Amino acid sequence: MATPFREILKTKDFVVTAEVGPVKGSNVSKAIEHIELLKDKVDGLNVTDNQSSVMRYPSLGICLLIKEHGGEPVFQVTCRDRNRLAIQADLLFAYSRGVSNVLCLTGDSIDVGDHKEAKQVFDLDSVQLIHLVHTLNSGKDMAGNELDGGIDFCIGTTATPSADPLEPQLIKVEKKLKAGVSFIQTQAIYELDELKRFTEFVRNRDEKVKILAGIVPVIGAKMAAYMNENVPGIFIPQHLIDELAQAPKGTGVSKGIEIAARMIKQIKEEKICDGVHIMFIGREEKVPEILEAAGLL
Amino acid sequence: MNGCIVAFCCEHSAYPAADLAGKLRLHYPENIRVIRVPCAGRVDVIHILKALEKGAAAVLVLGCEDGACHHITGNTRAKERVKYCNMLLKEVQIDGRPVAMFNLSPNAPHKFVSAVNEITKIIKESGR
Amino acid sequence: MIIAERKPMEEIEQAMAPYKKVLVAGCGTCVAVCWAGGEKEVEILASQLRLARSAEGNEIVTLEATVERQCEKEMVAELKDKVAEVEAVLSLACGSGVQTMAELFEDKPVFPAVNTTFIGMPEKEGLWVEMCGACGDCVLDRTGGICPIVRCAKGLLNGPCGGTRKGGKCEIDPEKDCAWVLIYRRLEKQGRLDLMREYYSPRNFRAVKRPGRVQAVKA
């Protein structure tokens, strides 16, 4: 059985989490492979929630599989697809089956996904969602009713340190800190100065929250350009795009891994923040390589 | 009006030009109906559409040269309206009934004639 | 005001296909201002239909009429005689007008010729932008006069989301501004950023229980 994530956050120097992206369909065999591959190499495994607004096997389903296989899941919950009743209900269910870590996110817009005519729910936003989990944690639902059988989630959220303009984003981060979070997993970081500035901002307001820098390996200059244009919250600087462009043909993936590992090492050595959150969706089998190259295995 | 070319002629430019073309006995097709207007900008989209409804084979809007409009922007507006009109016709798949704008000065009867000839050619080519 | 856009011509032509005599009815208020369904647009659409049907060899007779406000029963009632002469009505009014027409003349099929889109204002000539979501619980006092319900693509009360594009543009559309960046700038100008730092609890989505119903009292 894995150590509860909230304990790891309190005691470990450098926390490492990774992500498992569910597939479109009921075939969970690949997810199980990834779980088996990663569960003992990282402190927590996030499962995305209809990531990029593409309909997939639910986060909660994979979280249960992670539990079954002895890993420690982080249940990602967005506000895009479910209203406050459905979210509360899901949290009750999740907790009852041993899932006790939740990541609160707003969620990508419907337009970036594959069901472009669907209704966007956004009954809540991410800050309200954090408050909601605290309410449930305290033994009541959002309407003030007492719960028969409570929950106790370890609450995390996201942030975008490379947002431009940054100030509005920081105001929101402040609200999230005030609401109370145990960990922040940032969007992909490519500039460590941005990370340092962000960490300082957070530390000045909350000394306890753990900051895990988001690491998304980029495997080619074209991919980098595509991501800059199409993936919300991602900003890859030109010098990295150039470095990728110069890599010999066919070495894109290893170059991406090299750059990612380099960043992780630097973050760890300089103690810039409390850990990393590695997102390599579609290439989960390569995550151990990154961990190895970064000296984390 | 069946099969006619309706030509809205600005009284400051196209109308005197058409008149001069007549006086000089320049040759141009007979089936042209000249309508005198105080400015090309006076011609509204509905006037063009109604001319076509009444059977016109084509509609011309003729106004002053760029920068020479007596009402400053009348010819510019006319140009935009003609463009819009063509879009409206395309929407309902009415092809081959050209609507076009030409700019000329009052002492350019040959320009009037060439505009009419050009439109006549387009009509013939579209088989109407 | 209410902004509408004319429907694609194929839809209108298809709707009118079974009919030989129709009333093309416009409205002189909102849709006239946004160039979708006023007297001028009625004229043009009727002419387009006549031209198209004539070319097909299936003529259509169109009556044309524009009332000041198609959402007022008394004004729509004035069209009684014209409606009696036709097989169907093609209304260029917003949804409110179309339905008033349909209610007053229940025996006649009434077709919408425009898609009603939003409550908005002209950013510049001919360019209409959505401003108000008719949410029934106005929070413009807290956001420097910028509506987070409809100008934020996700309707967030504690924005921005993490997807803001470089330069403060919206995740969903790079042409559109991130409303929360606009709110930030406006409040900063006024020295009232404390309003943005406040936590806003979840929205009351039932502030207007649809279908909405308001009883006003005249002063």
* C150-184 pLDDT, tens digit each: 999 999 999 999 999 988 999 989 899 999 999 99
- Cα–Cα distances (Å) from B86 to B74, C35, C46, C48, in that order, read 18, 18, 16, 11
Distance between CA atoms of residues A198 and A177, nearest Å: 13
Interhelix angle A29-38/A59-68, rounded to 10 degrees, is 50
Q: Which fold has domain C2-117?
A: Rossmann fold (3.40.50)
Total number of domains constituting chain B: 1
Which residues from C are below 8 Å from B88, CB to CB?
A: 44, 48
pLDDT score recorded for residue A228:
85
A127-142 b/e (C-beta count within 10 Å ≥ 16 → b): bbbbbbbebbbeeebb
Confirm if A177 and A138 have CB atoms less than 8 A apart: no
Determine, for residues C47 and B91 on separate chains, whether the beta-carbon distance falls below 8 Å. Answer: no
**Domain map (residue ranges) of chain A:** 5-218+272-282
- Joined together, the tokens standing for residue C11 give 């839809």
DSSP state of C205: T
**Domain map (residue ranges) of chain C:** 2-117, 133-219
Please count the CA atoms within 13 angstroms of the CA of C99 that sit on its side-chain side. 4
Which ranges constitute the DSSP H helices of chain A?
A: 5-11, 29-38, 59-68, 84-96, 126-137, 167-179, 192-203, 221-230, 238-246, 252-269, 287-293
pLDDT-based confidence at residue A1 (cuts at 50, 70, 90): confident
Residues ≥6 apart with Cβ < 8 Å to C69: C27, C28, C29, C75, C97
* C97-153 pLDDT, tens digit each: 999 999 999 999 999 999 999 999 999 999 999 999 999 999 999 999 999 999 999
pLDDT score recorded for residue A297:
85
- Cα–Cα distances (Å) from A158 to A77, A176, A230, C47, in that order, read 11, 9, 19, 57
pLDDT-based confidence at residue C35 (cuts at 50, 70, 90): very high
pLDDT score recorded for residue A233:
75
What are the helix and strand counts (H, E) for chain B? 4, 4
Q: Which residue of B lies nearest to C50 if distances are taken between CA atoms?
A: B53
- Cα–Cα distances (Å) from A38 to A19, A32, A115, A287, in that order, read 9, 10, 31, 8
Average pLDDT score over residue span C89-94: 98
Find which of B91, B94, B128 to mutate to test the C interface (most C CBs within 10 Å of its CB).
B91
For B99, other C-beta atoms within 10 Å of its C-beta total 25
Distance between CA atoms of residues A244 and A249, nearest Å: 10
- Joined together, the tokens standing for residue A172 give 């929101």
**3-state DSSP assignment of residue B58:** strand
Distance between CA atoms of residues A152 and A137, nearest Å: 5
Q: Which residue of C lies nearest to B49 if distances are taken between CA atoms?
A: C47
- Amino acid at the residue A253: V
pLDDT score recorded for residue B28:
87
pLDDT score of A32 more than 60: yes
Pairing mode of beta strands A183-188, A154-159:
parallel
Distance between CA atoms of residues C136 and C148, nearest Å: 13
Determine, for residues C171 and A232 on separate chains, whether the beta-carbon distance falls below 8 Å. Answer: yes
Q: Please indicate if any CB of chain A lies within 8 Å of the CB of C133.
A: no
* A239-281 pLDDT, tens digit each: 999 999 999 988 989 999 999 999 999 999 999 999 999 999 8
- Joined together, the tokens standing for residue A245 give 């462009």
Pairing mode of beta strands C114-124, C2-6:
antiparallel
**3-state DSSP assignment of residue C212:** coil
Residues ≥6 apart with Cβ < 8 Å to A152: A95, A100, A137
Its domain, for residue B104, covers: 5-125
Q: Which candidate from B46, B52, B94 shows the least CB-CB separation from C44?
A: B46
Residue for token pair 């509360």: A88
Average pLDDT score over residue span A159-173: 95
Q: Which candidate from C48, C50, C55 shows the least CB-CB separation from B91?
A: C48
Average pLDDT score over residue span B45-51: 97
Q: Please indicate if any CB of chain A lies within 8 Å of the CB of C206.
A: no
DSSP state of A147: P
* A191-205 pLDDT, tens digit each: 999 999 999 999 999
DSSP state of B19: H
pLDDT score of B128 more than 60: no
Distance between CA atoms of residues C142 and C62, nearest Å: 51
User: Do chain A and B touch: 3 or more Cβ pairs under 8 angstroms?
Assistant: no
Q: Which residue of C lies nearest to A119 if distances are taken between CA atoms?
A: C154
- Joined together, the tokens standing for residue C93 give 């009014």
- Joined together, the tokens standing for residue A44 give 């927590």
Distance between CA atoms of residues C67 and C57, nearest Å: 31
Which residues on adjacent β-strands are paired with residue A278? A18, A215
DSSP state of A113: S
* A80-129 pLDDT, tens digit each: 999 999 999 999 999 999 999 999 999 999 999 999 999 999 999 999 99
Residue for token pair 């992500």: A19
Determine, for residues C51 and B92 on separate chains, whether the beta-carbon distance falls below 8 Å. Answer: yes
Which residues from C are below 8 Å from A165, CB to CB?
A: 164, 167-168, 181, 184
Distance between CA atoms of residues A163 and B16, nearest Å: 65
Confirm if C97 and C69 have CB atoms less than 8 A apart: yes
Residue for token pair 């169109």: C62
Which CATH number characterizes residue B36's domain?
3.40.50
**3-state DSSP assignment of residue A194:** helix
Give C123-132 contacts, CB < 8 A, sequence gap 24+: C126/C35, C128/C3, C128/C34, C130/C3
| Chains in contact with chain A (at least 3 beta-carbon pairs closer than 8 A) | C
Which residues on adjacent β-strands are paired with residue A76? A103
Determine, for residues C48 and B92 on separate chains, whether the beta-carbon distance falls below 8 Å. Answer: yes
- Joined together, the tokens standing for residue B45 give 């989209």
CA C76: distance to chain centroid?
Answer: 19
Residues ≥6 apart with Cβ < 8 Å to A282: A21
A17, A100, A105, A1: which is closest to A53 by C-alpha? Answer: A105
Q: How many residues does chain A have?
A: 297
Backbone phi, then psi, for A106, in 5-degree steps?
-75, -55
Question: CATH assignment of A5-218+272-282?
Answer: 3.20.20.220
Which residues from C are below 8 Å from A52, CB to CB?
A: none
Q: How many residues does chain C have?
A: 219
pLDDT score recorded for residue A227:
86
Distance between CA atoms of residues A220 and C208, nearest Å: 50
Residues ≥6 apart with Cβ < 8 Å to B58: B5, B6, B97, B98, B99, B100, B119, B122, B123
Confirm if B67 and B107 have CB atoms less than 8 A apart: no
Q: What number is the ipTM of this complex?
A: 0.93
Average pLDDT score over residue span B37-61: 96
pLDDT score recorded for residue C162:
92
Determine, for residues B46 and C9 on separate chains, whether the beta-carbon distance falls below 8 Å. Answer: no
